[in-house]
Amino acid sequence: TSSPIKDATGKVIGASKVARDITELKKASERVRASEIRYRRLFEAAHDGVLVLNPVSRKITDANPFIIDLLGYSQTDLLGKELWEIGLLKDEQASHTAFRELQQKGQIRYEDLPLQSQSGEKREVEVVANLYDEDGKQVIQCNIPDITGRKKTEQELAEKARLLDLSNDAIMVRNLDDNITLWSKGAEQLYGWTCEEVI
């Protein structure tokens, strides 16, 4: 006959309790596995670049398909590299500075960073890096949206605004949130409000 199973205090545990405990452990394990699958799907389907880094070595430990396509590297080529090695930060010194700031603040954000893919294509990106705890160890996650299209649109609008300012007509533009996004020199003259006061 087998020995009875006892708990930490030496009390004998019944077979039904052992079965219940094993069932609960299996359910908990299935929940963790489902959560990991959900996270992996979100990571891989994201329409922004996502890089995961080791906060000590500053090296990339994971990269989602979006950033792989954007940069033109294979996943194998990205893993083990630092951000400056793939053109996201100017140089190694800039990388050290950014990581010190991230350690102090827990989050850093860079807007309008130039990025050049492996094939030489130039893009504009933002980088939002967060330092957080994952199962007792720190991890850095960098979200990297491609803002090239937005920057191009902003430049086109700025050029149009410059051309509109050559006119004496009062021209105003509002966005969908009803905020004024353009206030021409003619509008300034007619209404007496400067562009800086109105936008």
pLDDT at position 94, please? 81
Which of 98-107, 124-133, 157-166, 189-198 is the least confident region? Answer: 157-166
Is the overall model pTM greater than 0.85, yes or no? no
Q: Are 130 and 107 in contact (CB under 8 A)?
A: yes
For the chain, what percent of residues have pLDDT higher than 70? Answer: 86
pLDDT at position 10, please? 66
Residue where the block lists tokens 């990581």: 99
pLDDT at position 195, please? 86
Instruction: Write out the DSSP string of 35-97.
Output: HHHHHHHHHHH-SSEEEEE-TTT-BEEEE-HHHHHHHT--HHHHTT-BGGGGTSSSSHHHHHH
pLDDT at position 6, please? 61
- How does pLDDT run across 95-132, given as a tens digit for each residue? 888 888 998 999 999 888 888 888 888 889 999 999 99
Q: Are 158 and 199 in contact (CB under 8 A)?
A: no
